[in-house]
Chains A and B, each alone.
Chain A
């Protein structure tokens, strides 16, 4: 095949990460800090330290995932009795009440999506570090999904916000937010940053030197 695989990098061009304008990169440009001529954003062929940064954020998110799920997220006081709920016990509560759709929404948004996101990111990181040539397109699609679904994990935090605001009738009933709310928000924010710091172009960078699968 030809000497290059047709990427901008091979053609010594850089696409701006913010406005997508393609510019010619001067030789040895990576040593300089360059700005896009149209929007002024720093020009980089690949996101800076993508793999290292994503690993750091993923590991931090995994660490915080435990307190987020083990500690109570809400504390409900009704007529003197206090009930503490974790994310999982909230799901179980809905199942017991027969609210399957709501149980599913909470389970998917709060438990399944963060885990899925973290496992996809770990798999992508490992595959990129091993310069794997398999399933490039599928991995890119997985990354795209990871980027899109992350925000929906915030649902539980918003539910707590609404409950805390509404259920505040003194001795009758009162809802307080638990410590897990903070840990859980941190997990969502960290995984969002992790997805943003991963550079999917790295998946395709081994295209030139590796064997061409498909």
Chain B
């Protein structure tokens, strides 16, 4: 059972050497990996995969964790939402989020202004964290989603799709644009006492992109993606 079951990773010093995956290892390994089995990620209960109705949800009988969903047209919808989200996100980053009027002074700020200001005040770590959670992670996340879904739509297997899908999962918790939006709303209330607030175009674009990106995330079912990939060249 050892041979051919899983690729071994050898460690030479600190570098990890992975064997190259065979071109169609899904078919060659079908007998060993158990696609019909599911282990609950939260309690490890082993279960058999059962088909569920469209829009249905399969939960772990022991701990109630949502194991999988049957989302209709998962990839098509995710693709549409991701594209819309990316465009709106670009608009939201470029145009001012908020304007502030003190008498005759008008100050407008984008997200990048805030990141730059934090950096120049010596809070490089905080600035980098905001950059990561509000720009780098969401953009990479959508980018990877498109990278996987566009070729898949045409029945092709993207190059190193394994890395892209692992990255997609790892980045998910670090994309915090919806939290940023709440932060913007709180600061609007805070500033309303001091001056006149003018919501900018960027704010509306950001709000739209959040809806699209959260929808894309909710609609993309990675299980479906892996199953579709297994059928691709």
Contact = CB atoms under 8 A, between A and B. Distances in A.
Interface of A: 6-11, 13, 15, 17-27, 32-43, 45, 94, 97, 99, 102, 105-106, 109, 136-137, 140-141, 143-144, 150-152, 154-169, 172-173, 176-177, 181-182, 185-186, 189, 192, 196, 200-201, 203-205
A177 to B, nearest CB: 5
A163 B115 contact: no
Interface in B84-130: 97-98, 100, 102, 105, 107, 109-111, 113-115, 117-118, 121, 123, 125-126, 129-130
How large, as a class, is the contact surface on chain B?
A: 35 or more
Contact of A159 (B46, B102, B166, B190): B190
B11 interface: yes
Interface stretch (B75-83, B138-146, B177-185, B211-219): B177-185
A105 B182 contact: yes
B18 A40 contact: yes
A102 to B, nearest CB: 5
A185 to B, nearest CB: 5
Contacts of B223: 20
Interface of B: 1-2, 5-11, 16, 18-19, 21, 25-26, 29, 32-35, 37-39, 41-46, 62-65, 97-98, 100, 102, 105, 107, 109-111, 113-115, 117-118, 121, 123, 125-126, 129-130, 133-134, 162-163, 165-166, 169-170, 173, 176, 179-180, 182-184, 186-187, 189-191, 193-195, 222-223, 226
B182 A26 contact: no
* A-B complex: 6 closest residue pairs judged by Cβ atoms: A158-B183, A165-B114, A8-B39, A15-B39, A26-B2, A165-B109
Contacts of A35: 6-9, 18-19
Contacts of A172: 102, 105
Nearest to B9: A33
Nearest to B189: A102
B226 A40 contact: no
B24 to A, nearest CB: 12
